[in-house]
């Protein structure tokens, strides 16, 4: 009977499937197919077994000394070939996971429910639930992706990384950052301790193993090359030469892999001040902290330029600027070039307004934070107007300081744009339509975009109308 890609041991007296492995010392051990238990000996049960065949003894009782598991094997058509030296998993279960950076580059959040296995110094993720006919669960015979914990770190994620509760932030040496979450607080605490223990246990492995594999000196490498050259002159067979070349290539690949794992993460290089974060796509709190301000200097620069040169231009913020020029401005700002918006190449005011809107769109977390998005939507639905304004006002006060001050600066500017509506033809409603989706968005896009877009615009419109009440004069 073919039931999986491993050897399965099915205890005849209970409905539990056990898998058999051999550790590095040659000792056999067993673990359940759902990954919940591992034992050095197959558990024994004092229950009568079912009759296996007509030839088997009918009167034989099943005691602890005579438990004989049925071995069921499938070795063909397997997408994952097990390593007989693999150790049993230390921990496994279902967790919510998303990547936020990959190889040092930021990626869009995509929360998924994954069957997670901690095995040695590796963390494995597979889609679906555990307990299926495969070690990784969900009918999947190999993991979706794996994470090397050596040289990594784990800590509790800050609110600006995710509004969810019980979130861990895992950083790897290769520059990949993950968020791991579960609604079960006790479960997340267990994973936090397990990951910390694993990282500290394997912290020495990467550096020490690399040092052992590195050549002693350039002279040794030169001596080896000369020896190989002499051996080739002695007329070694093609088969032996091919074997040596394959061995050398294998060693070279191994050394290169070890060398690459020693590279510092992008975050560690930033922390040491070797490189700076960019402006576009950078967290608002991080950018303000870097600039020792509560409002980004780029936002102030754009607002000052518009107020000094463009308040009376028709279609301000509604008309799109030249996207190629906007991207050039974005590149210059990101690379710390000295930008003067009065220069001729940025003379079109719609380029400045387009760049400002792009900055707010590319924030990792919008100006109206993910944590308060649904609260803002619920507040705008309140029938009583005074109660509605008061509720919005309280929510604005709950925003982080950089978000609050940047919002106040932006909305004060937009009020000036509206005051010149006769010239630029921009009303409160038209400004709200432009900035609603730019400043508010949910963390997950599982909601009705068409219906809720109305609420986004109404929230911005109400704050524009009640600016003095909400922020004070």
DSSP per-residue letters across 69-107: PEEE---SS-S-PPPTTPPPPSEEEEEEEEEEEETTEE-
| Domain presence at residue 199 | yes
Residue 237 included in any domain: no
* Helix, strand, coil % over all residues of the chain, rounded to 5: 45, 15, 45
Q: What is the dihedral of CA 438, 443, 449, 451, to 10 degrees?
A: -100
For residue 362, what is the domain's CATH number? 1.10.555.10
Q: Which of 13-27, 91-105, 119-133, 379-393 has the lowest mean pLDDT?
A: 13-27
Cβ–Cβ under 8 Å, residues 139 and 132 = yes
Instruction: Report the share of the chain in percent with pLDDT over 70.
Output: 63
Inside any domain, residue 195: yes
Q: Does 138 have pLDDT greater than 90?
A: no
Kindly tell me the burial class for residue 203, based on how many C-beta atoms sit within 10 Å of its own C-beta (0-12, 13-18, 19 or more): middle
Chain Cα centroid distance, residue 23 = 32
Write the CA distances from 427 to 22, 27, 423, integer angstroms: 74, 77, 11
Domain enclosing residue 77, as ranges: 1-86
Task: Tell which of 177, 204, 231 closes a domain.
Answer: 204
* 412 vs 464: CA distance, rounded Å: 8
153 pLDDT more than 80: yes
Q: Model confidence at 220, in pLDDT bands (50, 70, 90)?
A: very low
Query: Do 393 and 446 belong to one domain?
Result: yes
Answer yes or no: do 62 and 155 share one domain. no
**Helix or strand or coil: residue 448?**
coil
For residues 417 and 438, is the Cβ–Cβ distance under 8 A?
no
Report how far Cα 289 is from the mean position of its chain's Cα atoms. Answer: 23
pLDDT of residue 317: 94
Give pLDDT tens digits for 73-114. 333 333 334 444 444 446 788 889 998 888 778 888 888 888
Query: Which residue(s) pair with 118 in the sheet?
Result: 91, 123
Residues with Cβ < 8 Å from 128, sequence gap 6 or more? 113, 115, 137, 138, 139, 140
Same domain, 191 and 318: no
190 with 72, same domain? no
97 in Cβ contact with 160 (< 8 Å): no
Higher pLDDT, 151 or 1: 151
For residue 329, being part of any structural domain is answered with yes
Provide the whole-model pTM. 0.48
Average pLDDT of span 315-324: 92
- Cα distance between residue 165 and residue 466, in whole Å: 33
Tell me, yes or no, whether 354 and 446 share the same domain.
Answer: yes
Contacts of 11 (CB under 8 A, 6+ apart): 18, 42, 43, 45, 67, 69
CA–CA separation, 432 and 317 (whole Å):
11
33 lies in the same domain as 1 = yes
Lowest average pLDDT, out of 109-123, 268-282, 373-387, goes to 268-282
What pLDDT, on a 0 to 100 scale, did the predictor assign at position 267?
62
Average pLDDT over residues 58-69: 38
Question: HSE of 76 in the Cβ direction (CA atoms, 13 Å)?
Answer: 2
pLDDT at 34 over 70: no
Pair (324, 446) in one structural domain: yes
101 and 12 co-located in one domain: no
CB 31 within 8 A of CB 21: yes
Partner residues linked to 21 by β-bridges: 29
Same domain? For 78 and 121 the reply is no
Q: Which of 102-106, 135-139, 315-319 has the lowest mean pLDDT?
A: 135-139
The 3-state DSSP class for residue 170 equals strand
- Residue 236: pLDDT band (50, 70, 90) is low
| Domain closes at, from 169, 184, 204 | 204
Question: For residue 15, what pLDDT is reported?
Answer: 46
One domain for residues 77 and 98: no
Residue 174, domain CATH: 2.30.29.30
Q: Is residue 209, in this structure, part of any structural domain at all? A: no
**Of 86, 116, 135, the domain-final residue:** 86
How many structural domains are present in the chain?
A: 3
Interatomic CA distance for residues 23 and 7, integer angstroms: 15
- Answer whether residue 115 shows pLDDT above 70: yes
Asked if 36 and 159 sit in the same domain, the reply is: no
| pLDDT tens figures, 434-466 | 999 899 988 876 556 666 778 899 999 999 999
Query: Are 114 and 82 contained in the same domain?
Result: no
Distance of CA 303 to the CA centre of its chain: 34
């Amino acid at each position: 009977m073919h039931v999986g890609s491993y050897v399965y041991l099915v205890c005849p007296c209970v409905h539990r499937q056990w898998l058999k492995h051999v550790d590095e010392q040659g000792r056999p051990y067993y673990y359940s197919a759902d990954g919940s238990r591992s034992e050095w000996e197959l558990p024994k049960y004092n229950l009568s077994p079912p009759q296996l065949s007509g030839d088997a003894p009918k009167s034989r009782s099943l005691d602890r000394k005579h438990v004989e598991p049925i071995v069921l094997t499938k070795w063909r058509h397997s997408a994952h070939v097990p390593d007989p030296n693999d150790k049993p998993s230390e921990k496994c279960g279902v967790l919510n996971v998303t990547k936020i950076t990959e190889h040092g580059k930021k990626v869009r959040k995509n929360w998924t429910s994954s069957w997670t296995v901690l095995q040695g110094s590796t963390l494995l993720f597979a889609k679906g639930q555990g307990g299926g006919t495969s070690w990784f669960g969900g009918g999947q015979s190999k993991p979706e992706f794996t994470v090397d914990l050596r040289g990594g770190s784990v800590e509790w994620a800050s609110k600006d990384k995710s509004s969810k509760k019980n979130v861990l932030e895992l950083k790897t040496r290769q520059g990949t950052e993950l968020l791991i979450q579960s609604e079960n607080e006790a479960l997340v605490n267990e994973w936090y301790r397990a990951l910390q223990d694993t990282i500290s246990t394997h912290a020495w492995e990467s550096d020490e193993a690399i040092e052992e594999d590195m050549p002693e000196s350039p002279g040794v490498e030169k001596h080896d090359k000369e020896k190989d050259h002499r051996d080739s002159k002695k007329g070694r067979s093609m088969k032996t030469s091919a074997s040596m070349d394959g061995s050398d290539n294998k060693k070279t690949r191994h050394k290169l892999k070890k060398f690459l794992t020693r590279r510092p993460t992008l975050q560690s290089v930033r922390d040491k001040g070797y490189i700076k974060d960019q402006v576009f796509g950078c967290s608002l709190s991080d950018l303000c902290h870097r600039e020792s301000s509560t409002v980004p200097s780029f936002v102030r620069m754009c607002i000052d330029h518009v107020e000094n040169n463009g308040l009376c231009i028709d279609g301000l913020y509604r008309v799109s600027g030249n996207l190629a020029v906007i991207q050039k401005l974005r590149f210059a700002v990101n690379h710390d070039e000295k930008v003067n918006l009065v220069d001729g190449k940025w003379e079109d005011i719609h380029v400045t307004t387009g760049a400002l809107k792009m900055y707010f769109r590319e924030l990792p977390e919008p100006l109206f934070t993910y944590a308060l998005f649904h609260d803002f939507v619920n507040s705008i639905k309140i029938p009583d107007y005074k109660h509605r304004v008061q509720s919005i006002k309280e929510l604005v006060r709950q925003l982080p300081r950089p978000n609050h001050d940047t919002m106040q600066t932006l909305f004060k500017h937009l009020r000036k744009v509206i005051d010149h509506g006769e010239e630029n033809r921009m009303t409160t409603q038209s400004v709200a339509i432009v900035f609603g989706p730019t400043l508010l968005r949910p963390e997950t896009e599982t909601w009705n975009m068409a219906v809720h877009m109305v609420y986004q615009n109404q929230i911005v419109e109400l704050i524009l109308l009640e600016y003095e009440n909400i922020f004070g004069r």
